[in-house]
Structure 1
Amino acid sequence: MMALVDPSTVFPLAGYERLCFLKNVVRHPQVTVGDYTYYDDFESVENFQKNIRYLFDFTCDRLTIGKFCMIASGVEFIMNGANHLVDAVSSYPFAIFGGDWATAMDGKAYPVKGDTVIGNDVWLGYRASILPGVTIGHGAIIGSYSVVTRDISPYSIVGGNPGRIIRSRFKEETVAELLEIAWWDWPLEKITRYAGLLTGNVTDFLAAVRSDPT
C-alpha cells in the first residue's frame, strides 16, 4: 500500500517548520499556488507573502504558481503596483497624494504588464527576483540572484541580471515530449510509481512512459 504525501500538510518535514507546502500558507485572493509546491525560508515561511511586492487589489493582477515548484528563501515577486509612468515627462505619481494633484492622472493609466505566471516543476533559486507580467515555463530553473525581466521558455536554465537563458535542460524534441506528458497532472498514485524515474535519466523516464499502457 502506498504512503502518499498529503498536499494539505503545512509542514511536510517532521520537526522542520521553515519548509512548507506553500498553498497552505498563502492567504491572498490574488495568489494561487498548486499542490506540492514548497517554499523554504531561513527564518519563517511567513516571509513568502511579504516578498510579493506591490500587489494591490486595484491593479487586479495575479500571481499564479504551478505544482511541484521549488522556491528558495528570499525569492521576490515584483507586481504591477510597482509600475510608474515611463513615456510621460515625469514618472512621479502626483495623483496618489490628492489635494490639488488629485486629477493629474485623469484620462491616463499606469502601465500594467499582466499577470505573473510560474509553470509546474519550476525551481526558483535563492533571492531570485521575478518582475511583473513574466511567464516562466514548466521545468525551468532560475539561478540564485537572477532578475527575470521577460518570459522564459520551458526547461530553460536562467542566470544573471537581467536573467538570460544559459541553455536548455534538454533537446528540443525531448522538451516537447515532456510538455505533452505533463507528469505533474498525473494522478498522485502514478507520480508516486514514477518517482524514482522522475529523479533519474530523462531517456529512461521517457522510455518507461512510452511503454506504459496507463
Structure 2
Amino acid sequence: MSIFSRFKKKRLKRKNKQILKEKLATSHPLEKGSILFENVYPLHKMGFGSYGMPKVFNAESIECKLTIGKFCSIADGVKIILGGRHFANWATTSPIWILDNNIEPPKSKPKFNNNVIIENDVWIATDAIILSPVRLGNGCIVAAGSMVTKDVPPYAIVAGNPAKIIKYRFSPDIIEKLLDIAWWDYPVDEIKKISPILNSENIDALINYSNNRKTAMATRAS
C-alpha cells in the first residue's frame, strides 16, 4: 500500500469516527446500541432499544442477513454464524471449490436460507452461539454458553448444546397476552412512562394497562 493510500485510509477512518461521534451525540439514548452495532456491521440490522456487540461471522455471502429486533440484550462473547454449512453426505466435507478459484462450484450444492432473525425483547447470555438459519421468538432467553441450532419459541428459556427448551417464562395464556400487547412497538415516551411496570414482576399491571389503552384508543376512534 502506498503512502498516499495509507493517508487516504486514515483520513476516511477519522471522518467516519467523527460522523459516528456526531450521530451518537444527537441520537436518543435508547438508539445508541443499534447505531454502534450497525457501524460495525452495516449489512445487518439492530432495532431500537437493543444493545450488545455479538461477533457476526458471515461464512456464505452478503445475502445472509442478521436482523435483531427491539429491546434485545446481547451479552459479551455471543457469536452468530451465518451460513458456512458443510455437507456430511458428500464424499468430503471440504469446500474444495472455495480453496481454488479455478474449480467450478458443484451444481448440486443445495440452496439454504442462512438468515438469523432475533425478534424483540430477547436476552442472549454470555458466550452463546447462534447458528443459522434460526428465529429467536419474542421474549425468549438463551442461557450462557448455549448453542442454538433451531428456532426458539416466544418466551421460552433454552440452554445446552444443542440448546433445548428448559421451561417457558410464563403460562401459555400470559404469553398470548404479552405477544398481543407487543409493548416494544409503543412510542418511546410511553415505554418510558410504563417502565416501572415493565421492570417489575407485575404482569397483571401491564395487561390492565394494555386493556385500558385499547379502550381509550377505541373511544377516540369512534
Q: Secondary structure at the match of 1:7?
A: helix
What is the one-letter code of the residue matched to 1:108?
S
CA drift at 1:31: 0.8
CA drift at 1:195: 0.4
* Greater RCO, 1 or 2 (C-alpha within 8 Å, sep 6+): 1
Q: Output the CA distance in 2 between the equivalents of 1:152 and 1:8.
A: 26
CA drift at 1:74: 0.2
CA drift at 1:139: 0.3
Q: Output the CA distance in 2 between the equivalents of 1:143 and 1:126.
A: 8
CA drift at 1:34: 0.3
What is the one-letter code of the residue matched to 1:7?
L
Gaps of 5+ in 1: 10-20, 40-44
Q: Which residue of 1 aligns with 2:82?
A: 79
CA 56–88 in structure 1, closer or farther in 2 if over 3 Å, else same: closer
Q: Which residue of 1 aligns with 2:208?
A: 207
Q: Within 5 Å, which residues of 2 pair with 1:94-109?
A: 94-98=96-100, 102-103=103-104, 105-109=105-109
Query: 2:37, 2:46 within 8 Å by CA — same for their partners in 1?
Result: no
Higher Cα Rg, which structure: 2
Given the two structures, how large is their TM-score scaled by the length of structure 1?
0.80
Query: 2:34, 2:45 within 8 Å by CA — same for their partners in 1?
Result: no
Q: Within 5 Å, which residues of 2 pair with 1:29-40?
A: 29-39=42-52
Q: Which residue of 1 aligns with 2:70?
A: 67
Q: Which residue of 2 aligns with 1:6?
A: 29
Q: Which residue of 1 aligns with 2:115?
A: 115
Q: Output the CA distance in 1 between the equivalents of 2:167 and 2:121.
A: 17
Q: Deviations over 1:111-133 (max 9, x none)?
A: 52431000100000000100011
Aligned-residue identity in percent:
30
CA drift at 1:5: 5.0
Q: Which residue of 2 aligns with 1:179?
A: 179
Q: Secondary structure at the match of 2:166?
A: strand
Q: Output the CA distance in 1 between the equivalents of 2:193 and 2:116.
A: 32
Q: Which residue of 2 aligns with 1:129?
A: 129
Q: Output the CA distance in 1 between the equivalents of 2:57 and 2:190.
A: 37
1 or 2, which has the higher helix percentage?
A: 2
CA 25–150 in structure 1, closer or farther in 2 if over 3 Å, else same: closer
Q: Which residue of 2 aligns with 1:22?
A: 34
Q: Output the CA distance in 2 between the equivalents of 1:162 and 1:85.
A: 19
Count of paired positions: 187
Q: Secondary structure at the match of 1:130?
A: strand
Q: CA RMSD in A?
A: 2.0
CA drift at 1:98: 2.2
Gaps of 5+ in 2: 1-26, 218-222
Q: Deviations over 1:157-200 (max 9, x none)?
A: 11111101111111111111111111000101111111011112
What is the one-letter code of the residue matched to 1:112?
F
Q: Secondary structure at the match of 1:196?
A: helix
